[in-house]
Every structure is written in C-alpha cells, then in structure tokens.
Amino acid sequence: MNTDNGDALRLTGLVKHFGRPAVDNLDLTVRRGELYALLGPNGAGKTTTLRMVAGLLAPDAGRIEVLGVDLARDPAGAKRAMAYLPDDPLLYAKLKPTEYLEFVAGLWGIEADEAEPRARRLLDWLELTPHAHELTDGFSRGMKQKLALAGALIHEPRLLILDEPLTGLDAAAARQVKDLLLAHVDGGGTVILTTHILEVAERLAQRIGIIQHGRLIAEGTLDQLRGLAQGGTLEDVFLHLTGKG
Ligand SMILES: Nc1ncnc2c1ncn2[C@@H]1O[C@H](COP(=O)(O)OP(=O)(O)OP(=O)(O)O)[C@@H](O)[C@H]1O
C-alpha cells in the first residue's frame, strides 16, 4: 500500500533490542530532496536504524515507510526505491569494476544497453575509469568504497542511505563522493548519511539529527542546533547535547 505523504523516510516508534535497547522508540522523518545527516556517539543506534530501514534487520516494533511505501507490507517496492551502502561494503574481489556494476545492474533487471552508459558515467565521476578493467582485489579501501557507491547508484535509487560514506577517503575521493551526493539531491533525490566527521554534516546537510541511546535527542538545521546550545560549533553542540562537553 502506498500512503504517500511526501516524505522520503518516516520512522514511527521504531524499536530494536539486543538484550538491551539499541533503537528505542525512534521517530524520524526525512523529507524528499533533503540531505540529512544522522549523528550520534558510538553505539547510539545509527547503524542498527539504517539496517532496519534497508530491510536487513527486522524491527521488534514500529513502522518504516520509504517514499510512502510501508517496508513491512511491500518490502520489494520499498527496496527498489532506495540503496543502502554499509560502512564495510562487500565487493567481489575477482570482478573488475565494469563486471561488478553489470552484475549489480543485472540483479535489478536493468538491460545492458541502459546499464553500460550509467556504469561509465559513475566510474568517470568517481575517477575509477583508469581502473575499470582491473580486479577489485588490488583496490585500496577508498577505491573499493567508491566502487560500492557506484554499485549503490546503478539502479538510480531515489533514496540513498549511507553509513559513514567518507571514512577512510582521501581529500580528492571525499570531494568526488560529496559532489555526487549533492548532485543526487540537486536532481531531486534524498540522501541520509551517518558520519562522525562533523564538518561533513556541517557542510553538506540541510538538517541534522542527533541520536543517543537509540532516541532522537535533537534535530534541525545547523543554526537551529547551534541555538540549542547557545551558539558555538557543531562539535560544541554535539558534545553539549550528548553530555560530553
Ligand atoms: N548484531 C548485534 N548484536 C548485538 N548487539 C548489537 C548488534 N548490533 C548492534 N548491537 C548493539 O546495539 C547498539 C547500537 O549499535 P549501532 O552499531 O547501531 O551503533 P552506532 O550508532 O552505529 O555506533 P558507531 O558510531 O560506533 O558505529 C550497541 O550497543 C551495539 O553493541
């Protein structure tokens, strides 16, 4: 059932326990066309939340709606509209980037004549074209991260969910990925990312959510969050709100 309300993601009363609560009655809404950064201390429940949204982990309670589609009722419909890039993406070491992208495109049922130009564009953008015919086995962590991002984008998802997408990338690679994410949003797509690099949230995100102990403790634009902690940098705000400052 599609109950389209214009939101890219709506979480209502989301709960996941691993003996103790990891995600604790979380309500969160991300609008379409937004770049939303989810921040939180280690163990706050960010990855657990994203894995539930991606359909990789079943919630104990609550509701997940992706672009108006209820994930529990129509998992295939919800998943088709999104891509999830974990913080340790799995690639196939014995495939070359072109083969990997063809393979992923095939899983989505995209015809080769459509997949090839898309793959070429993505490899170009991420400056992987010179390595398009090398085995990913020998790729650096950053190159693997970029190829995994290309794989996530090959079916042109409207909602892109990324767990720590910039960790371990050098300045040039980080810039390419940031530009790609901003272009996705400019084109009407939505991006949700987690990051411990507060400068990334500061520079890229239209709205920022801070979670702690599996609950949203603050949310807003950078200026709104600064207002909550009497000004200062996002780091000051973050440390103040999470009780570490
Ligand atoms: N598969 C699991 N089994 C048991 N406990 C888990 C599992 N996955 C996560 N947890 C626990 O759930 C809590 C939230 O973990 P999660 O990985 O979601 O946090 P995070 O905010 O992504 O942290 P980080 O910033 O360190 O990546 C932690 O206490 C973690 O130990």
Q: Look at residue 3 in the predicted model and tell me its pLDDT.
A: 53
CATH number of the domain within which 49 lies = 3.40.50.300
Q: Look at residue 36 in the predicted model and tell me its pLDDT.
A: 98
Q: Look at residue 128 in the predicted model and tell me its pLDDT.
A: 94
Question: What's the gap in Å between 70 CA and the centre of ligand 1?
Answer: 24
Q: Whose CA is nearest to atom 6 of ligand 1?
A: 18
DSSP-assigned letters across all residues of the chain: -B---SEEEEEEEEEEEESEEEEEEEEEEEETT-EEEEE--TTSSHHHHHHHHTTSS--SEEEEEETTEETTT-HHHHHHTEEEE-SS----TTS-HHHHHHHHHHHTT--HHHHHHHHHHHHHHTT-GGGTTS-GGG--HHHHHHHHHHHHHTT--SEEEEESTTTT--HHHHHHHHHHHHHHHHTT-EEEEE-S-HHHHHHH-SEEEEEETTEEEEEE-HHHHHHHTTS--HHHHHHHHTT--
pLDDT greater than 90 at residue 82? yes
Question: What's the gap in Å between 88 CA and the centre of ligand 1?
Answer: 14
Q: Whose CA is nearest to atom 8 of ligand 1?
A: 48
The residue out of 97, 128, 156 marking a domain boundary is 156
The overall average pLDDT reported for the chain is: 92
Residues 132 and 38 in one domain: no
Structurally, how many domains does the chain consist of?
A: 2
The residue out of 137, 156, 175 marking a domain boundary is 156
Q: Look at residue 20 in the predicted model and tell me its pLDDT.
A: 94
Residues 43 and 94 in one domain: no
Model confidence at 29, pLDDT cuts 50, 70, 90, reads: very high
pLDDT greater than 80 at residue 2? no
**Average pLDDT over every residue of 13-17:** 98
pLDDT greater than 70 at residue 95? yes
Residues 101 and 204 in one domain: no
- Of 13-27, 67-81, 104-118, 218-232, which gets the smallest average pLDDT? 218-232
Q: Look at residue 56 in the predicted model and tell me its pLDDT.
A: 94
Residues 162 and 245 in one domain: yes
pLDDT digit string, tens, across residues 214-242: 999 999 999 999 888 777 888 888 998 88
Range of the domain at 22: 1-81+157-245
46 lines ligand 1 (CB under 6 A): yes
**Can you tell me which atom of ligand 1 is nearest the CA of 48?**
18
Question: What's the gap in Å between 43 CA and the centre of ligand 1?
Answer: 5
Question: What's the gap in Å between 3 CA and the centre of ligand 1?
Answer: 31
42 lines ligand 1 (CB under 6 A): yes
pLDDT greater than 90 at residue 89? no
242 lines ligand 1 (CB under 6 A): no
Ligand 1 pocket: which of 39, 48, 60 to mutate (most atoms within 8 A of CB): 48
pLDDT digit string, tens, across residues 143-178: 999 999 999 999 999 999 999 999 888 899 999 999
pLDDT greater than 70 at residue 1? no
Residues 165 and 239 in one domain: yes
45 lines ligand 1 (CB under 6 A): yes
Residues 64 and 161 in one domain: yes
pLDDT greater than 70 at residue 182? yes
Residues 112 and 228 in one domain: no
Pick the more confident residue, 53 or 141: 53
The answer to whether ipTM exceeds 0.85 is yes
Residues 150 and 235 in one domain: no
Question: What's the gap in Å between 12 CA and the centre of ligand 1?
Answer: 20
The residue out of 156, 174, 192 marking a domain boundary is 156
